[in-house]
Structure 1
């Protein structure tokens, strides 16, 4: 089975893209192959900035506050849901057109924007059919579908900011590296100008703090005349966004600590789909997350191009199984255009155009997290072991000192008693 590698520069037309997507699907189906599982990790839609800065004159523009999904973002995610419906329901019969709880499972990070994005996608995927049992309210073209989540502090699967001491240590070392020092020197003039306008400290962290609010204000067409001579928004602002996401996962270990659990999850779900233990597993898993989530996943699959995933971008990991003889294989598709359905087929380096699940697992085995809690706390554990050792040694030394002191006191008392003791005289000669 031959896969087609679709370049972004080729895909300019939505019609052309739909045709190419259909061709890829038909090639698989024509070869007698069955789609077994789809796992899609997507970014939320357009949002308000997650932070502000002291001199931000547009801080009151965002009526719902910081980090919230906008109406534009809601529509972007709704369109992504329609795309899923077209690709996996209308173009083939892989998924039922009616919602079936045994076919699909949706998980989100515990953030308003990702939870709302998940609901918008489901609204696009499963509009109630008129007259059907799922139409519970004739005046509302929507039905409730569950979205699952976990606390951010416990979510190592999708939250790239979950507590991880080992990652924090590696990131602190990276910030103190010569690489960052040279990068800061390169942009020092820009950092100083940005600090003067923003009211933030003239540091690299200060500059990076500005990137998100300025990007959001720029994309919403707000008046930013004071920034025109400081930050040429394209391409520099986008370039800084790319730097920000790339450098957060600069080393392989940093990437693994953040993306390794998700890669392990995807592989585990594919194994289960081929060998269901009890009842059939879902055909589709949706993960509503962030740009950092997609970056870490692309990074641990060795296909990250150092470009920040756009709003409602999506990575789809498909598992196919040939009919009859043949090994199951993996397709990785990347939708990184907000307003079109253009797809890029990503090839895992070293896996060839047809990447069997076995090769996929073997090639990426070093990037899979086995025990994220142990991996994140490895440094603390070593430090804890040292502390325990020090405490035990201190206790032993203290006990030894106490024993020696007690012996010294005992011996001193015995000696003093023997020297001061004299028997009473029994004859008068002693007093003559």
Structure 2
């Protein structure tokens, strides 16, 4: 008994110094059953595909020491700090002791998201006394897993589902959308083509937007001609592209439906008591497209900007008055705390079975939607 008391005291003191908050800061913690967190990676260098060959900063040496597409130090710090903020929000619910049953961490098959998964977990779960393996290092290794991009329907459906890009192209070519895009962006596309020497598709223009944005973030001057198309109208084209990717039921099923289906399945398993004992959280380390697509597919947020680095969606499962239900939140850092969202047809606390029924139309029935056997 004395040993247990001593251990508890040491754990308390060590926890306070290692990043555990002194008290809970989330008033709804007591009703929590499970939390799903879908978040964007941290600040990064540009991908080679988002640059053009005549760009003075095209060479990878400009992004030393990490290279194309990799997290910057600012991005690493951002992801770690988000983990600490989530620890503050869910401190009592999560508890201090980590084990493999408590947390599942999944990433896409990119270095920047894998590192973001590690950093988020480090901020979220500093070692308690029993987890401590190095007295001078407030960190513990926490495993994550990923699927190869070509197999990852949940987090990389644009890579895994051959049908997706074809369906996007078909939608863009419909007369109404083709006229809309031509009226708004033909001049932009022409300027990009002439100045970059590249064949400019809607996807390529979308990628180039991120190249310009990241180059600007890194303090690398943009060429003078870029001001004619960036930030506007290229920013508006980028936002329109998110809406295009979620404009039909089948597109929603592919780009968000597989992830949403997993979230609902894991939630139902938790409610039924079949998850590993003590499961508290699922972390998904992804991209801004994952965030934008889920918000738009659920019709819970009017997207006017690219989801920023470290933005996240919380899918909280609560049990209130013996009813299991879902609360949705989005953190884009326009406010201090995550914004509560409301699924159309439901309240902010949406009973689980009602939530499932309301989103049923955008849940894929099988892999056929991904593989191209189903069109709507």
Same fold (TM over 0.5): yes
| Deviation string, structure 1 residues 86-144 (Cα, Å, up to 9, x no partner) | 0001xxx1111232322111111111010000011111112235xx3433223433211
Take 1:247 and 1:214, find their aligned partners in 2: how far apart are those partners? 22
RMSD after superposition: 2.4
User: 2:364 maps to what in 1?
Assistant: 369
- State which of 347, 352, 366 in structure 2 corresponds to 1:352: 347
**Map 1:225-264 → 2, pairs under 5 A:** 225-227=223-225, 229-233=227-231, 236-264=233-261
**Map 1:183-262 → 2, pairs under 5 A:** 183-201=181-199, 204=202, 206-227=204-225, 229-233=227-231, 236-262=233-259
Report how far residue 354 of structure 1 moved: 3.0
8 Å CA contact 1:42–1:313 kept in 2: the answer is yes
Report how far residue 214 of structure 1 moved: 0.6
Residues 163, 133 of structure 1: alpha-carbon distance in 2 compared, 3 angstrom cutoff: closer
User: 2:84 maps to what in 1?
Assistant: 82
Report how far residue 177 of structure 1 moved: 2.3
Report how far residue 203 of structure 1 moved: 5.5
Take 1:291 and 1:282, find their aligned partners in 2: how far apart are those partners? 26
Residues 140, 356 of structure 1: alpha-carbon distance in 2 compared, 3 angstrom cutoff: same
Structure 2: tracts of 5 or more residues without a match: 1-23
- State which of 319, 325, 328 in structure 2 corresponds to 1:329: 325
Residues 253, 278 of structure 1: alpha-carbon distance in 2 compared, 3 angstrom cutoff: closer
Residues 36, 211 of structure 1: alpha-carbon distance in 2 compared, 3 angstrom cutoff: same
Report how far residue 187 of structure 1 moved: 2.3
Take 1:85 and 1:116, find their aligned partners in 2: how far apart are those partners? 18
Please give the TM-score of this superposition, normalised by the length of structure 2. 0.84
User: 2:100 maps to what in 1?
Assistant: 101
Report how far residue 279 of structure 1 moved: 4.5
**Map 1:23-422 → 2, pairs under 5 A:** 25-26=26-27, 28=28, 34-50=31-47, 51=49, 52-60=51-59, 61-63=62-64, 64-89=66-91, 93-129=92-128, 132-178=129-175, 179-201=177-199, 204=202, 206-227=204-225, 229-233=227-231, 236-277=233-274, 279-280=276-277, 282-307=279-304, 308-322=306-320, 325-337=321-333, 341-371=336-366, 373-379=367-373
Take 1:138 and 1:180, find their aligned partners in 2: how far apart are those partners? 62
Please give the TM-score of this superposition, normalised by the length of structure 1. 0.74
Aligned pairs, number: 345
Residues 162-171 or 263-272, more deviating: 162-171
